[in-house]
């Protein structure tokens, strides 16, 4: 019976590790263009749950702002568009500094996370493992940006207890995918077993 095979759940950081991770990222250096891109990429994914591919496609004109936050248009899977937001207080100075740094280097292309060319950077590799080692949260597998997406999903769900909100935040077409991301099965089993 193949459906009974043990299916591995994706790795994620628990709420404490997730907050520790964010604190460590905030302390990363911002000396070079690469430093700034890596730090901003980690913050964008951690605070919005976007996919690496979506991150690489963000253009300057995809970012709008109001008094307190940036609203970012995301080009998701199957060309679906959605919007995510991030507080200005979390990334505003770094985003402005990055854009200014690029302009001073003559890099006036549209893609925010691209190093040199006017081309989407779909292969952003960020230095996550040293941060995970520092907070003693290295996972068995998946120590990359997708780990942050899963952690974001779990965090949003645990804070809100709203699976539909979490689904919308992740840009999922199906609730089934969202349930995997938020590790809902564990939660549901624990809750149901406590009924008796």
**What is the arithmetic mean of pLDDT over 93-101?**
95
Q: Do the domain assignments include residue 6?
A: no
Q: Do the domain assignments include residue 193?
A: no
For the residues of 119-167, what is the DSSP string, one character each? S--TT----HHHHHHHTT---SS--SHHHHHHHHHHHHHHHH--HHHHH
pLDDT for 84 equals 95
Q: Do the domain assignments include residue 169?
A: yes
- The pTM (predicted TM-score) of the whole model is 0.84
Q: Per-residue confidence at 57, pLDDT binned at 50, 70, 90? A: very high
Overall domain count for the chain:
1
Express each pLDDT in 29-44 by its tens digit. 999 998 999 999 999 9
**In this structure, what CATH number is given to the domain that contains residue 27?**
1.10.443.10
Domain that holds residue 105: 15-188
């Amino acid at each position: 019976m193949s459906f009974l095979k043990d299916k591995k759940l994706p790795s994620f950081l628990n709420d404490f590790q997730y907050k520790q991770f964010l604190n460590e990222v905030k302390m990363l250096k911002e000396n070079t263009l690469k430093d700034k891109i890596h730090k901003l990429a980690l913050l964008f994914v951690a605070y919005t749950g976007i996919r690496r591919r979506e991150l690489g496609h963000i253009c300057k004109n995809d970012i709008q702002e109001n008094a307190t936050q940036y609203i970012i248009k995301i080009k998701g899977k199957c060309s679906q568009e959605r919007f995510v937001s991030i507080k200005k207080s979390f990334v505003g100075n770094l985003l402005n500094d990055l854009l200014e740094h690029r302009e001073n280097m003559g890099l006036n292309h549209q893609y925010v996370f691209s190093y040199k060319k006017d081309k989407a950077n779909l292969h952003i590799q960020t230095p996550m493992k040293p941060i995970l080692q520092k907070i003693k949260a290295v996972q068995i597998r998946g120590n990359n940006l997708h780990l942050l997406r899963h952690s974001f999903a779990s965090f949003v769900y645990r804070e809100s207890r709203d699976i539909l909100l979490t689904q919308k935040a992740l840009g999922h077409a199906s609730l089934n995918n969202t349930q995997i991301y938020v590790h809902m099965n564990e939660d549901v089993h624990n809750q149901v077993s406590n009924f008796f």
